[in-house]
Amino acid sequence: MHHFPRPSELTLSVTREPVDGLCPVCGRESLARYPVVAEHGWTIVTKCQTCLHSVERSPHSPLGSITLLSDSV
Ligand SMILES: [Zn+2]
């Protein structure tokens, strides 16, 4: 691991997809969806970028990052 001062979940080089809607916790419109590596593999999280509240979590395919790349082309 490198010496990142921030939580590793926020420093992954993944594409964050902006999500419409307000955070139910802090009320800000700063939701984003992106894949993270969890214990069971890739997981898609929708998370407030302001207070880091997890709005939604859903399992992702093992090739999640590749799928994301093809979707963005
Ligand atoms: Zn929030």
**Nearest C-alpha neighbor of 24 from the set 53, 4, 2, 49:** 53
Q: What is the mean pLDDT of residues 1-12?
A: 58
Ligand 1 is an ion; its neighbours by CB within 5 Å are 23, 25-26, 48, 50-51, 53
Q: What is the mean pLDDT of residues 43-60?
A: 91
Using an 8 Å Cβ cutoff, are 58 and 36 in contact? no
CA 31 to ligand 1 center in whole angstroms: 8
CA 71 to ligand 1 center in whole angstroms: 27
**Nearest C-alpha neighbor of 57 from the set 43, 68, 67:** 43
- Rounded distance between C-alpha atoms, residue 20 and residue 8, angstroms: 24
Q: What is the mean pLDDT of residues 37-64?
A: 84
Q: Specify the pLDDT at position 49.
A: 95
- What is the distance in angstroms between the CA of the first residue and the CA of the last residue of the chain? 30
5-9, 40-44, 51-55: least confidently modelled range:
5-9
Query: How does pLDDT run across 11-49, given as a tens digit for each residue?
Result: 556 689 999 999 999 999 999 999 888 887 888 999 999
Give residue 15's identity as a one-letter amino acid code.
Answer: T
